[in-house]
Amino acid sequence: MKLNFYKYQGAGNDFILIDNRDGSIDHRNPLLISKVCDRRFGVGGDGMMFLQNVEGFDFEMVYYNSDGQPSSMCGNGGRCIVAFARHLGVIGSETNFLAVDGPHYAKISDSGDWVSLQMIDVDTVDRDSEAYVLNTGSPHYVQLTTGLQHKDVFAEGRAIRNNTTYLSKGINVNFVEPLDNGYFVRTYERGVEAETYACGTGVTAVALAMAQANDQTGHISTPIKVLGGDMNIRFHYDGLKFNDIFLEGPAVKVFIGEIEVGDLGEYQAEEQGL
């Protein structure tokens, strides 16, 4: 079986996107997805998404991490699938779509490569010693640090993600260093189980946590630098709740391709050890 796909990236966070509006692909197949996401033997990507029809919305975003497992919300993936939907002619400059954490509104630039995605409201920020812990569609651990350019994010992030507190459900680990204008962020992502070039829900969590840490309120705009480029998070904070949260950044089509994946049933049998 041949699978037609599109490759998109948002600040270096890269994804394989599939148009599944006809419902012909049964994507509940972790082995298939993990093999297609493999960077040596497949297409390569931090995750894989399926754009599907759903009643009451322009489309549905179904997202899997590169390990083949269903994921919580992916912010950069959300921005990329909006650009994909525009490419397919599903939407114009604005959209309301459904993701795993509920409805999302987004707006895309006239050029089609910059997307502002509204995220869920956040009213709880917990602490784990000096770190901040919050859920912005996915769970995040936010830790201030210095010398971030040279930090071993893989080793330190993996240790936190797999400690006794977070091992069962996992958590995304963000290391943050203040810049003259905004913050530099590097993230270890669960499901990918490695550092990624960007994490949308992660930089959102960082911006909110830093606003609370610095006693900022009102309408706030926070520039964030990641390994894959520049992003921005704007939101309103009244001292108790964060709302009108928008994750903004690039969403770029890299290429269109086709991959031979064989019979989907073969993957089911291999997964079951038959």
Catalytic residues: 74, 199
Place of tokens 């992003």: 231
Find the DSSP H helices in 104-255: 153-161, 200-213
3-class SS of residue 31? helix
Report d(CA 221, CA 233) in Å as an integer.
Answer: 6
Distance between CA atoms of residues 20 and 6, nearest Å: 12
Residue with tokens 């599944």: 20
Please give the Cα distance from 135 to 207 (Å, whole number): 12
Q: Please answer whether residues 116 and 107 qualify as being in contact, where contact means their C-beta atoms are separated by less than 8 angstroms.
A: yes
Taking the mean position of all CA atoms in its chain, how far away is CA 188? Answer: 12
**DSSP state letters, 84-121:** HHHHHTS-SSEEEEEETTEEEEEEE-TTSSEEEEEPPP
CA distances for 59 relative to 50, 51, 105, angstroms: 10, 7, 11
Beta bridge partners of 98: 60, 103
Which candidate, 266, 274, 224, 214, places its Cα nearest to that of 249?
224
